[in-house]
Amino acid sequence: MPMRSRALSDEGRRLYLSDAGRRRSPNWARRLVYHLFHTEYDDRLCDVVCKCRQSTQALAAQFCRSDIRERLEAGIMHTIRLILTRDRKRVKKRHVLRSFRFFRDVMEQAHRYQDHQTAHMMYLALTHPAIANLNLKMRKKDTELLERVGQTYGEPTYSKHVQFWRSVRSDHVLPSLIAFHIYITRRDFMGRRYEADEAREMMDIFQYLEHNPDEVLPLYSQKRLTDTKVIELSKKLKYLI
């Protein structure tokens, strides 16, 4: 099986994985079989998806914090930056495509296992004008996946996701904090306080579920980048294949 090139830059590993890694079985035979069918890419993808899920649980418990908007936006914008650069250096277009496909795979896995915060964050990063305007060579399945994930949340009001959440009865399903925050903000602005308070109560439960506050990804603690900044990064790309 051919090896794929490294999926995350050093900075990407820091923001998404911190210094944690998955422990392997001490049994050499199991390790041998494992590595016959798994690549470094598979390992890194699994690590990121798992860390993102743990982070969503921890961040959901902090939904009432006054800086939640800035943290959620930082997650989106710095994911875009990681796609467009490698350790803060400009890259060629083929490297951007490679990063795009990695984060698309993260989105797909997160959506499949109902970590909606991670899936939604990846969707918003991958469809941002800074990425979309590059006209990357997307496959039909990429376009179909983005459309399917986007339809899940019902932007711009996100009432579809909140309506879905009313029927959730499992701790395994994790909400899109992005969708809930925007929904609540819009309902408050419209004076529909009952609906806003109902959505807040849906999020309040996460304070009492098991979580580790230290598992919030460093990604969410970065200073938020502006749309203008990431679009400038996009325009400075080297368009060599």
Per-residue model confidence as pLDDT tens digits over 130-181:
999 898 888 899 999 999 999 999 999 999 999 999 999 998 999 999 999 9
Reported confidence tier of residue 88, pLDDT bands at 50, 70, 90? low
The more confidently predicted of residues 27 and 107 is 107
Report, as an integer, the average pLDDT of 98-127.
Answer: 96
Burial class for 193, CB neighbours closer than 10 Å (0-12, 13-18, 19+): exposed
In this structure, what are the phi and psi dihedrals at residue 106, rounded to the nearest 5 degrees?
A: -60, -45
Reported confidence tier of residue 17, pLDDT bands at 50, 70, 90? confident
Q: How far is CA 153 from CA 86, 109, 123, 204, in A?
A: 30, 16, 10, 20
Separation between Cα atoms, residue 90 and residue 232, nearest integer Å = 11
- Using a cut of 0.75, tell me whether the model's pTM lies above it: yes
